[in-house]
Amino acid sequence: MRLVVVGNGMAGARLVSEARARDPQMRVTVFGAEACRPYNRVLLSDVLAGGSRPEQVRLLDPSWYAEHDVEAVLGTEVARIDRETRHVLTADGRREPYDLLVLATGSEAVVPPVPGAGRAVPFRTLADCERIVAAAGRSRGAAVVGGGLLGVEAARGLAGRGLPVTLLHLAGHLMDRQLDAEAGDVLGETLAGLGVTTRTGVSATAVEPGGVRLACGELVEADLVVLACGVRPVTGLAAAAGLEVRRGVVVDDELRTDDPSIFAIGECAEHDGTVYGLVAPAWEQAAVAAEVITGGKARYRGSRLVTRLKAKSVELAAMGETQLDEEHAEVVRFSHRARGTYRKLVIRDGRLVGAILLGESDAVGTLTQLFDRGGPVPGDRAGLLFPGLSAAPVAGSPVLMPDAAEVCRCNSVTKGQIRACWEAGARDVAGVAAATRATTGCGTCRDAVEGIVGWLCDQEGVPV
């Protein structure tokens, strides 16, 4: 069996490792357009902020490919798929045969069609990130165009480097896809305290040498302009091959396209009308596709999205239908804007269908589990938002947390798996990560994993 994977990002690299773990004999070739080995795109905001170095966000060691008999062809773009002969053709003329093909081509940054856009730097790849960091060192001020998740992370990262930053957003409030208006306003106020000036309801019409020109004629001065205007799935290769493409490459529950020998996963794939832009769904899809490819039976039924903002001094989690109001659902809301705190529960038919948690909160783990499982919401709504006020024990405590509780959502790692890993000899987060992949996604579960490992060591009197 010859497996070819086009795309060596977070989805493609995970598919390769999942397939190899299931079948050590399959011939595997992966093509990556980027010359570097795969890296964790989720953590680029840490690199931008100076909290991590580029080499710290790499996913696979260079020796991994040789040790696992995987041919990695990096810095090479696949230009065409020949479905009749089952070959892929690269831009430099190579023809590679396949029995099964996986498209993991990801997405690309949207660059608005405005004059001077080429003067700005998109925030998408590691190379983009390195360009931004280099430019920040010689700039007096920066402007970020786009106030979605990536734009907020970019603005916070640049402000952390000491630059005055102006964040420009077309919609009426920040992260309007994930947050309601009040949460967006509270987020803007939090960012203001960290050195970011937010301008909402504004449209950029040009990027000029001195900054960004707005539709009203005003020039927002900046030496460095970063574009975070969203992404679009990379589907040109699939479309040229005659595969069904809507917004993404259309796949079924096995992640197959309308050609049964070709699969698509990650940000380029469209399942049941949805294109997912987060890492957890991509990795869930990679596991399902790998199981099917190696002869097993698995089905992908979609993912329940939890968005986590990874910016220093800004704690944010948003999930589900956050925009619903009291006319359509039961809404429980708490706001303390002076402290940058906003919490909202959206409950329908006794189930949690949405939530926003902005500001430090110990309720994230419990609410995420309720949202994921779709279980009934306890009658004590205040206790959900403020676990410390409830007379009941805190469910997030390692002592009381059931083994089935999911700790790392990106990799679906439970407390029980961490316990088993610890009993097998892992005594620190690095050991747990190596065995389970916990903490290797968005990284927000690291404190929880440290807490569980520390608790287990304390119980047995074992040094960490």
Range of the domain at 126: 117-229
What burial class does residue 143 get, using C-beta atoms within 10 Å of its C-beta: 0-12 exposed, 13-18 middle, 19+ buried?
A: buried
pLDDT of residue 408: 83
Query: Which element (helix H / strand E) includes 3?
Result: strand 2-6
pLDDT of residue 391: 41
User: Is 339 a domain residue?
Assistant: yes
Please indicate, yes or no, whether residues 249 and 263 belong to a single structural domain of this protein: yes
Which residue from 302, 304, 238 is spatially nearest to 272, judged by alpha carbons? Answer: 302
Please indicate, yes or no, whether residues 101 and 238 belong to a single structural domain of this protein: yes
Mean pLDDT computed over 437-453: 80
Q: What is the CATH number of the domain that holds 339?
A: 3.30.390
Average pLDDT score over the chain: 91
Which residue from 261, 299, 279 is spatially nearest to 3, judged by alpha carbons? Answer: 261
User: Is 66 a domain residue?
Assistant: yes
User: Is 313 a domain residue?
Assistant: no
User: How far are the Cα atoms of 45, 46, 132, 142 from residue 158, in angstroms, in the given order?
Assistant: 9, 11, 9, 8
At residue 292, what is the residue type? V
Q: Out of 132-136, 390-394, 408-412, 460-464, pick the least confident.
A: 390-394
pLDDT of residue 394: 40
* Dihedral sign computed on CA atoms, order 167, 58, 131, 159: positive
What burial class does residue 342 get, using C-beta atoms within 10 Å of its C-beta: 0-12 exposed, 13-18 middle, 19+ buried?
A: buried
Global pTM?
Answer: 0.86
DSSP code string of 65-81: HHHTTEEEEET--EEEE
Strand 249-251, strand 269-271: pairing = parallel
- Pick the last residue of a domain from 368, 394, 420: 394
d(CA 364, CA 355): 9
At residue 261, what is the residue type? S
Tens-digit pLDDT profile for residues 292-304: 999 999 999 999 8
Confidence of residue 464 (pLDDT cuts 50, 70, 90): low
- Does position 82 have pLDDT exceeding 90, yes or no? yes
User: Is 85 a domain residue?
Assistant: yes
The pair of three-digit structure tokens given for residue 70, joined into one six-digit string:
């995987």
CA 356 from chain center: how many Å? 17
Give the contacts of 128 (CB within 8 A, at least 6 positions apart): 109, 121, 122
User: Is 302 a domain residue?
Assistant: no
User: Is 312 a domain residue?
Assistant: no
Please indicate, yes or no, whether residues 170 and 194 belong to a single structural domain of this protein: yes
Tens-digit pLDDT profile for residues 143-183: 999 999 999 999 999 999 999 999 999 999 999 999 999 99
User: Is 306 a domain residue?
Assistant: no
Please indicate, yes or no, whether residues 12 and 91 belong to a single structural domain of this protein: yes
Please indicate, yes or no, whether residues 266 and 207 belong to a single structural domain of this protein: no
Confidence of residue 402 (pLDDT cuts 50, 70, 90): confident
Please indicate, yes or no, whether residues 216 and 237 belong to a single structural domain of this protein: no
* Gyration radius of the chain's alpha carbons: 23
Tens-digit pLDDT profile for residues 238-290: 999 999 999 999 999 999 999 999 999 999 999 999 999 889 999 999 999 99
- Pick the last residue of a domain from 374, 394, 414: 394
- Does position 311 have pLDDT exceeding 90, yes or no? no
Please indicate, yes or no, whether residues 133 and 186 belong to a single structural domain of this protein: yes
Edge-first strand order for the sheet with 330-336 is: 306-311, 314-320, 351-358, 341-348, 330-336
What domain count does the chain have? 4
Please indicate, yes or no, whether residues 364 and 277 belong to a single structural domain of this protein: no
Please indicate, yes or no, whether residues 98 and 6 belong to a single structural domain of this protein: yes
What proportion of the chain, given as a percentage, has pLDDT over 90?
A: 67
What burial class does residue 1 get, using C-beta atoms within 10 Å of its C-beta: 0-12 exposed, 13-18 middle, 19+ buried?
A: middle
Please indicate, yes or no, whether residues 203 and 139 belong to a single structural domain of this protein: yes
Mean pLDDT computed over 124-136: 94
Mean pLDDT computed over 126-138: 94
- Does position 396 have pLDDT exceeding 60, yes or no? no
Confidence of residue 463 (pLDDT cuts 50, 70, 90): low
Q: What is the CATH number of the domain that holds 435?
A: 1.10.10.1100
pLDDT of residue 392: 40
Between these two residues, 199 and 313, which has the higher pLDDT value?
199
Q: In this structure, are residues 210 and 116 in contact, taking their beta carbons and an 8 Å threshold?
A: no
User: Is 307 a domain residue?
Assistant: no
Please indicate, yes or no, whether residues 401 and 390 belong to a single structural domain of this protein: no
Task: Point out which residues pair with 29 in neighbouring strands.
Answer: 4, 71
* Helical spans, DSSP H, in 122-233: 126-136, 149-160, 181-192
Question: For 406, phi and psi rounded to 5 degrees?
Answer: -80, 125
d(CA 9, CA 425): 31
Q: In this structure, are residues 117 and 273 in contact, taking their beta carbons and an 8 Å threshold?
A: no
- Pick the last residue of a domain from 394, 416, 446: 394
Confidence of residue 380 (pLDDT cuts 50, 70, 90): confident
**SS3 of residue 197 by DSSP:** strand
Please indicate, yes or no, whether residues 402 and 390 belong to a single structural domain of this protein: no
Tens-digit pLDDT profile for residues 22-73: 999 999 999 999 998 899 988 898 899 888 888 888 888 878 999 999 999 9
What proportion of the chain, given as a percentage, has pLDDT over 70?
A: 96
Confidence of residue 388 (pLDDT cuts 50, 70, 90): low
Between these two residues, 452 and 114, which has the higher pLDDT value?
114
